[in-house]
Structure 1
Amino acid sequence: MKVVLNLVKKEKKALFVIFGGTGDLAQRKLYPALFNLYKRGYLKKHFAVIGTARRPWTNDYYRDVVKSSIDGMVDSQTKINEFASHFYYQSHNVNDVEHYETLKALADKLDAKYELAGNRLYYLAMSPRFFGTISKYLKSEGLADTDGYNRVIIEKPFGRDYQSAKELDDEISKYFSEEDVFRIDHYLGKEMIQNIMALRFSNSILSAIWNNKMISNIQVTLSESLGVEERGGYYDTAGALRDMVQNHILQIVALLVMDRPASYCAKDVRQKKVETFKALKVYSPEEVKANFVRGQYGEGKDMPAYREENLIEPDSMTETFVAGKLEVNNKEMAGVPIYIRTGKRMATKATRIDIVFKQDKGSIYGEQALADNILTINVEPDPGIALSLNTKKIGQEYATKKTELKNSLTKEQAARVPEAYESLILNVLQGNSVNFTHWDELKYSWKFLDAIRKAWDEEGLPVDYFPNYSCGTMGPQISDELLAKDGNYWIFN
C-alpha cells in the first residue's frame, strides 16, 4: 500500500508551555523557530505560548525578550509585535504543586481566548532530573486532561547510561504514552539528514548498490571547531561519547544502514531503525580497544587546552574526541565497516557523510590506479551531495581522472530550508514522530555505548596520555591508524 503524504499547509491550533522559558535554548532556538512557523502560516491567530521559569518576570518583559530573540528576522515591527502578543509568562517552581494550579488556570484561560481546542505541547527545556516531576504534576493537576492532544517534547541528554535512561523513561511513561513523548534530536531535523532516506529509497540506481556487495565502507564525521565554551560544567561529566555519539551519530548511522521500511511513516521507519540498533554489535573490552579511540585537545594558536578551559579540572581525563569502527549485522550491510568520529577544536565545523564504493575488479585499465567512487552528503556548512567518478582524461592516452558531480543548494534554496527546530516542532504539531527517537532506539544505543564506556573506565589511562591532539587539527594520529589497519583512510581531511 502506498502512503500519500499530506503536504497541504494548514494552521495549527495549540498552546505551548515551555518549561525553562527564560533559558538559552528557548531564546536561541525555540522562539525563532516558532516565529518562522508564524511567518510561514502554520501558526496564525489560534496559538499561545506560556513561558515558565523561576525568575519573576512580567508578561511585558517576557515579550521584550521574545522580540529580542527574533530581532532581524523580519522588517515588519508590526508582525513582531503581533507574534509576541501571544506570549505569556508564569513564574513557576516545578517542584511546587500549587504552581501547577496557577499554571492550569492560565492555560485554560488562554485555551478559551485563542480557541485552541485543548491542544497542548509541553516543551521540557530543563535539566532531565525535572522530567519526571513535571510529567507527574501535569497529569495530577489536570493540565494534560483536555479534549485535544497533550504532547511532551524532551531535550537530551536522556540519561547517562542505559539504567538512568530506563529510570527516566519509566517515570515519564507513568503519565504519558510513548506516542505522546517526542524525544528531540535536532540533527534529525536537518535538511540533508532527512535527505538520506530520499536518496536511498527513491533512486533505483542507489538502491541497487546500497549494500555490502558494493559498499567498501561508510564514514561519518561531526567535527566542531569550537571548544566547550560555557558548557564546561556539563561537558566534563559527559564527554564526546555521551554528548555526540549516543544520539546524533548513532541516529545518522541508523538512517544510513537500516533496511528498507515498508513506507515512510513513523511506525515502519521506527521498526527498521530499532532492528538496526538491535543488529549493532556490542563490543567486548578487547574489541573496544581494537575499534575505538579517544582524544583530548591541547593548546593551539590563541586557543587554550581543554584542561585550561573554564570549569575543567587540570587533570581531567574526559574525552573531547572519539573515533570508532561500528558493525551492523543486518541483511544488507553486514560486514561493511562504519567509521565514525567527532570532536571539539578540530580544523573546521562540518557534518559530512562519505559512502565509499568498492573498486571495479574487472577494470580494463590494467595497473592504472582508479579513484574510489564516493557519494558524499554534506550536511553542513554547505548542504549538498557529490558523486566522484572516473572519466577519461582529455587527450590521446587512455588514462582516467577523477570527476565530481555536485549538487549544492543555492543561496535562495538555502534561505528556504527550515531550521532544524522549526521542522521538528512542526512535526510535533502534526503528530508525526518519524524524525524523533523512540525508547527502543535509545535502549539499544545506550547498551552499545555502555560497553565502550565501561571498557574505558576499567582500562584507565595515565594522566599524561592527554592531550593527544592540537587545536585546529582533525584529531589524534590514532584516529588515522584505526582506518589504516583496514587499508582505509579518512576521505574528509
Structure 2
Amino acid sequence: MITNKQIAPTIFVIFGGTGDLNARKLAPALYNLYLEGWLPEQFSIIGTGRTQLQDEDFRKKLLEDINQFSRSGKAEKEKWEAFSQHLFYQVSDLNDFKTYKEFGTRIKHLETEWDTKANVIYYLAVAPNFFPIIADNLAKSKLADDSQRVRIVIEKPFGHDLESAKELNQLLMRTFDERQIYRIDHYLGKETVQNIMAFRFANSLLEPTWNRNYIEHVQISVTEQLGAGERAGYYDGSGALRDMIQNHLLQLLCLVAMEPPISFNADEVRNRKVDVLRAMRRFSPDDVRLSTVRGQYGNGWLEGKEVPGYREELKAESNTETFAAVKFFVDNWRWQGVPFYLRTGKRMHQSASVISIQFKEVPHFMFPPETADSIHNNRLIISIQPEMSIRLQVQAKRPGLDMILNTVDMVFDYKGTYSSEAPEAYETLLLDTMLGDQTLFMRGDQVEEAWDLIMPILTTWQGRKSLNFPNYSADSWGPETAEALIARDGFHWFTLPLNGKK
C-alpha cells in the first residue's frame, strides 16, 4: 500500500491560482489529500495570477473555496491552519520572463529549507493560449531541465484540431520528455471509470464473452441538464464534438474496447488504448451523413423553469452544435461489426454518464410462446453518474405457477458496498502526478489519433451549415434524428431511470 512516506517532497506551482478550476477542483482536492495523509510531509503550493494578493489573502480565498466545494465539508480550524502554512501566492505576468526567475528563487529557497531536492509540478490551469508561452518561458529560465523531478500538467482542450494538437505536442517535446507531460482528462480519474479495467480484467467469467460473438452493441452517453450559460462565448469555439467526444467519450470507448494489457504499466495500458483508436474506422463524407447527428438546443422548460436557447445565451447566431451523436466501428478481430454509439448533449432531460453494453439474444428460445414478449437481451450497465454502480440485467422467472420471465438486476453500487466516500477525480489524478504514474493520463500519440478520427466529421460539419438549428428543446433527449440513427439498426438509446432502478 502506498503511503505519503513514498512520495518525494513536492512543490506545486498552479498557474491560474485565482481561477475557477483551482477554486472548485484543485484546492479542495489537495486539501482532501492532506486530510487523508496522502501529501508528503514537505510540500508547498504556490498559486500565481495577475491579481494583487498577499499570502494571507490567498489563503483566505482558498478557505472560502474549500468550505464551498470540498466533499469533506467545511475545514476544521486546526487542520486548516496547519495546511494553510504550505500555501503561498506570487503575483505574476505569464509573458514576463522575470516572473519565472522569481519561481526559480522560491523553489531553491524551499529546497534549501528542506535540505533536499523536490519534485516540481507545474499545473497549467489557464486558457490554452497560455500553454506555449508558459512552456517556452519554463525552458528559457531552466526550470524544466531536471527530467526526473519536473512535471507539467495540461488541462483540455489539448489543441483545437489535429494540426494544433501536433504543434502543441512538438512544442512541449522541445522542453519536456513525454514522461514529464501529464495531459489530464478528469473523466479518467472517476472511480467508476477506473473500475472498468478492474471489472473487465480481474474477473475470468467476463473475458470469454467480451467480443463480437456475444456483444450486440455498445452505447456511451454523457448528457447534461445544464446549458452553456455564461460560458457560451467560450463554448462556441468548441462544440459538443470537440468538448466531449474527442476526449471524454473516446477515452471511455478505449477502456471498453481495449485488449488486455500485459501489465498495469502506464505505457502498456496506453499502448492498448492507442491500438483501439488506430483500429477505428475513419469517416468518408457520406459516412458523416449516415453515421452522425448534430443538434443545438432551443428554449424550453426544465424542472419547472423556463430556460433560454443556446443562441439567446450567446446573443448571436451560431452553427455550433450542443449535441452530437456518432456511430463508430472498431475494425479489429474482437469488435468487427459491433457498433459503438456515442452521444452527448447539453440541456438534456437528465444529467447522466452511462455505458450500456447489450449482449446478443439467446441462440434458441425454448420457453412457452407467452413468455416471448417479456424476455430481453442481457445488458451490462456501468453508471458513472448520478449514481456510481455496475449492474448486470439478466432474465429470471417471476414467482408464481406460470413460467413468466422478467428482467432482474445484479447490482454493485458504491454506496451500498462501501462506507467510505469515493475520492474526487482530481484527488486521484493529483496523487498519480506526485507518484509519477501516467496510467490515467493521455499520451501525445493518443491525443493525435483521437483528433485524426474526428477531423473528417468536424470538416464536413463546418462545410455544411445546419439549416434547422435549433432542432431540440430543453428537457428533451436531443434531436429526433439521433433516435433515428440508432433505430435504423433496430436499437434504442438506453436511459438510466432517475432512481437508478429498472
Q: TM-score range by the shorter chain?
A: over 0.9
Task: Answer yes or no: is 1:315 the counterpart of 2:320.
Answer: no
User: How far apart, CA to CA, are the structure 2 residues paired with 1:396 and 1:133?
Assistant: 74
Residues 176-206 of structure 1 show CA distances to partners (whole Å, capped at 9, x for unaligned) of: 0111000000000000000111111111111
| 1:265, distance to aligned residue in structure 2 (A) | 1.4
1:148-297 matches, within 5 Å, as 149-297=149-297
Contact 1:51 1:89 in 2 (8 A): yes
User: How far apart, CA to CA, are the structure 2 residues paired with 1:317 and 1:192?
Assistant: 34
Tell me what 2:351 maps to: 349
Match among 308, 312, 325 for residue 327 of structure 2: 325
Tell me what 1:476 maps to: 479
Tell me what 2:465 maps to: 460
Which secondary structure state, in structure 1, belongs to the residue aligned with residue 111 of structure 2?
helix
| 1:371, distance to aligned residue in structure 2 (A) | 0.8
Task: Answer yes or no: is 1:20 the counterpart of 2:6.
Answer: no
Identity of aligned residues (%): 39
Tell me what 1:71 maps to: 67
User: How far apart, CA to CA, are the structure 2 residues paired with 1:431 and 1:452?
Assistant: 35
| 1:286, distance to aligned residue in structure 2 (A) | 0.3
TM-score normalised to the size of structure 2?
0.93
Task: Answer yes or no: is 1:388 the counterpart of 2:393.
Answer: yes
Match among 35, 43, 46 for residue 42 of structure 2: 46
User: How far apart, CA to CA, are the structure 1 residues paired with 2:335 and 2:434?
Assistant: 35
User: How far apart, CA to CA, are the structure 2 residues paired with 1:381 and 1:27?
Assistant: 22
Contact 1:118 1:146 in 2 (8 A): no
Query: Which residues of structure 2 form unaligned runs of 5+?
Result: 497-502
Aligned partner letter, 2:349: A
| 1:363, distance to aligned residue in structure 2 (A) | 2.0
Residues 339-378 of structure 1 show CA distances to partners (whole Å, capped at 9, x for unaligned) of: 0110000011110010000000212126413211000001
Contact 1:11 1:43 in 2 (8 A): no
Which secondary structure state, in structure 1, belongs to the residue aligned with residue 239 of structure 2?
helix
Aligned partner letter, 2:474: C
Aligned partner letter, 2:367: Y
Residues 223-263 of structure 1 show CA distances to partners (whole Å, capped at 9, x for unaligned) of: 00100122111101111010001000000001010111111
Aligned partner letter, 1:65: K
Tell me what 2:500 maps to: none
| 1:63, distance to aligned residue in structure 2 (A) | 1.0
Tell me what 1:417 maps to: 422
Change (3 A) 1:427 1:147: closer
Tell me what 2:405 maps to: 400
Which secondary structure state, in structure 2, belongs to the residue aligned with residue 237 of structure 1?
coil
Match among 5, 18, 22 for residue 10 of structure 1: 5
Which secondary structure state, in structure 2, belongs to the residue aligned with residue 197 of structure 1?
helix
Contact 2:188 2:194 in 1 (8 A): yes
Which secondary structure state, in structure 1, belongs to the residue aligned with residue 236 of structure 2?
helix
Aligned partner letter, 1:413: Y
Contact 2:3 2:38 in 1 (8 A): no
| 1:53, distance to aligned residue in structure 2 (A) | 1.1
Residues 285-342 of structure 1 show CA distances to partners (whole Å, capped at 9, x for unaligned) of: 1001100001111111211111111xx1432111100011010112211211000110
TM-score normalised to the size of structure 1?
0.95
Aligned partner letter, 1:283: F
Residues 36-89 of structure 1 show CA distances to partners (whole Å, capped at 9, x for unaligned) of: 110111114300011111111111111111111212635520111111111111
Contact 1:293 1:478 in 2 (8 A): yes
User: How far apart, CA to CA, are the structure 2 residues paired with 1:217 and 1:321?
Assistant: 21
| 1:416, distance to aligned residue in structure 2 (A) | 2.3
Farther off after superposition, 430-439 or 41-50:
41-50
Change (3 A) 1:300 1:115: farther
User: How far apart, CA to CA, are the structure 1 residues paired with 2:98 and 2:277?
Assistant: 42
User: How far apart, CA to CA, are the structure 1 residues paired with 2:321 and 2:495?
Assistant: 21
Tell me what 1:303 maps to: 307
Residues 148-177 of structure 1 show CA distances to partners (whole Å, capped at 9, x for unaligned) of: 510000001111100011111111110001
Contact 1:120 1:148 in 2 (8 A): no
Contact 2:63 2:75 in 1 (8 A): no
Tell me what 1:487 maps to: 490
Change (3 A) 1:411 1:372: closer
Aligned partner letter, 1:304: P
| 1:454, distance to aligned residue in structure 2 (A) | 0.7
Task: Answer yes or no: is 1:426 the counterpart of 2:431.
Answer: yes
4+ residue segments displaced more than 6 Å: none
Aligned partner letter, 1:330: N
Contact 1:67 1:81 in 2 (8 A): no
User: How far apart, CA to CA, are the structure 1 residues paired with 2:246 and 2:147?
Assistant: 36
| 1:118, distance to aligned residue in structure 2 (A) | 2.6
Contact 2:209 2:215 in 1 (8 A): yes
Contact 1:18 1:124 in 2 (8 A): yes
**Paired residues, number:** 484
Task: Answer yes or no: is 1:34 the counterpart of 2:30.
Answer: yes
| 1:459, distance to aligned residue in structure 2 (A) | 2.3
Q: What is the Cα-based RMSD across aligned positions, in Å?
A: 1.6
Query: Which residues of structure 1 form unaligned runs of 5+?
Result: 1-5
User: How far apart, CA to CA, are the structure 1 residues paired with 2:191 and 2:115?
Assistant: 33
Which secondary structure state, in structure 2, belongs to the residue aligned with residue 470 of structure 1?
coil
